[in-house]
C-alpha cells in the first residue's frame, strides 16, 4: 500500500472512530442502548459512504459473524433512524449514515447522490430548511422530517 493510501486509510479510520464515539455518547445521553449489532450496522453505513440496502448491510453483518436474520437489520435501521443517526433514501429504498448525528432531521438536509459511483454527501443547508418549513406552514403542513434527495454526478465522476 502506498504512503498516500495508508494516510487516507488512517484519516478514514479516525473519522469512523470519531463518528462511532459520537453515536455512543448520544445514545448514552438519551439512555438508549447502542448494542453491538446497532453499532456494526452504523459502522457499515459510515464505511460504505453510499446508500446501502438492508440486504447489503445483512451481508456485512454476516461477514462480521452476526446472525443471518433480516428482521434484526431492519430493527437496527429503525433504531438508527429514530436516534437521528441514519436516513432512509426513499428514491432507492436504501439507508445512509447521517452526517449530522442526533439532529431532529429538520435541519434542511440535502442528500447529494452520485448516479455513477453511488457516493452520497449530506449537506446541511439551514436556509433551505427554513424555506421548506415556511412553505409547509403556509399550507398548514407540519413536516416531521426533511431530507431532499438530489441525484446527479459528483465532481470525481464528472472529471473522469
Q: Is 114 annotated as a binding residue?
A: yes
Q: Is 98 annotated as a binding residue?
A: no
Cβ neighbours of residue 15 under 8 Å, at least 6 residues apart? 46
Q: Is 157 annotated as a binding residue?
A: yes
For 24, the grid coordinates are 455512543
C-alpha span between 81 and 88 (Å, rounded): 8
Q: Phi first, then psi: what are they for 34, rounded to 5°?
A: -100, 80
Sign of the alpha-carbon torsion through 140, 143, 147, 151: negative
Count CB atoms within 10 A of the CB of residue 6.
10
Which residues are annotated as part of the binding site?
114, 117, 154, 157
Which residues are annotated as part of the binding site for Zn(2+)?
114, 117, 154, 157
Amino acid at each position: 500500500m502506498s504512503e498516500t493510501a495508508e494516510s487516507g486509510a488512517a484519516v478514514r479510520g479516525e473519522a469512523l472512530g470519531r463518528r462511532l464515539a459520537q453515536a455512543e455518547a448520544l445514545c448514552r445521553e438519551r439512555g438508549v442502548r447502542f448494542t453491538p449489532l446497532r453499532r456494526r450496522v452504523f459502522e457499515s453505513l459510515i464505511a460504505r459512504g453510499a446508500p446501502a440496502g438492508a440486504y447489503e448491510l445483512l451481508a456485512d453483518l454476516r461477514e462480521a459473524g452476526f446472525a443471518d436474520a433480516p428482521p434484526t437489520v431492519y430493527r437496527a435501521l429503525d433504531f438508527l433512524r429514530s436516534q437521528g443517526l441514519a436516513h432512509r433514501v426513499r428514491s432507492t429504498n436504501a439507508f445512509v449514515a447521517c452526517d449530522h448525528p442526533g439532529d431532529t432531521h429538520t435541519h434542511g438536509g440535502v442528500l447529494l447522490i452520485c448516479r455513477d459511483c453511488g457516493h452520497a454527501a449530506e449537506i446541511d443547508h439551514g436556509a433551505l430548511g427554513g424555506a421548506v418549513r415556511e412553505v409547509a406552514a403556509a399550507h398548514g403542513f407540519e413536516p416531521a422530517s426533511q431530507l431532499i434527495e438530489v441525484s446527479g454526478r459528483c465532481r470525481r465522476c464528472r472529471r473522469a
